[in-house]
Amino acid sequence: MEKTITLHLTDDRSLLRNDGTGDYKVDEQGNIDIYGYMQDERFYNEAWLVCLHELIEQRLTQHRGIREEEIDAYDRNICEKGGVADEAGNERGCIYYKEHHFAECIERLAANELGMNWEDYYQYYI
């Protein structure tokens, strides 16, 4: 049995299910597509960091039994209230709060190793 995980660094927002900068989709066979939005090639590192975050968050939520459909519904609800999907994981009571924050910790560490200022990255890109 083989399963694939594919990272997509893309400038095509239509591949994402929300207005954020990252997304993931798991198909019926368990293959995973991870998406990181980049406006253009200058933002390769940023899109890569988003993919890293999504990869970690997806695995942890799946491991803990939080279904993709539940996450989608939660994110849609946040967006309907005027929030941003990328920031839904920061909301009090978020069903994947713990997983989101762990993924962000790893994302921060990687950003630091790439010589990126987290505040600049987060404010401008996320």
Question: Which residues fall within 8 angstroms of residue 62, CB to CB, at 6 or more apart?
Answer: 26
**pTM of the predicted model as reported, rounded to 2 decimal places:** 0.89
Q: What is the predicted pLDDT for the residue at 85?
A: 62
Over residues 63-88, the pLDDT tens digits come to 999 999 999 888 888 777 766 666 77
Please enumerate in sequence order all residues whose Cβ is within 8 A of that of 84, keeping only pairs 6 or more positions apart, or say none: 19, 20, 78
If one counts every other C-beta atom within 10 angstroms of the C-beta of residue 52, the result is: 20
Task: Write down the domain spans for the chain.
Answer: 5-125
Q: Answer whether residue 36 shows pLDDT above 90.
A: yes
Per-residue model confidence as pLDDT tens digits over 86-122: 677 888 889 999 999 999 999 999 999 999 999 888 8
Interatomic CA distance for residues 50 and 114, integer angstroms: 13
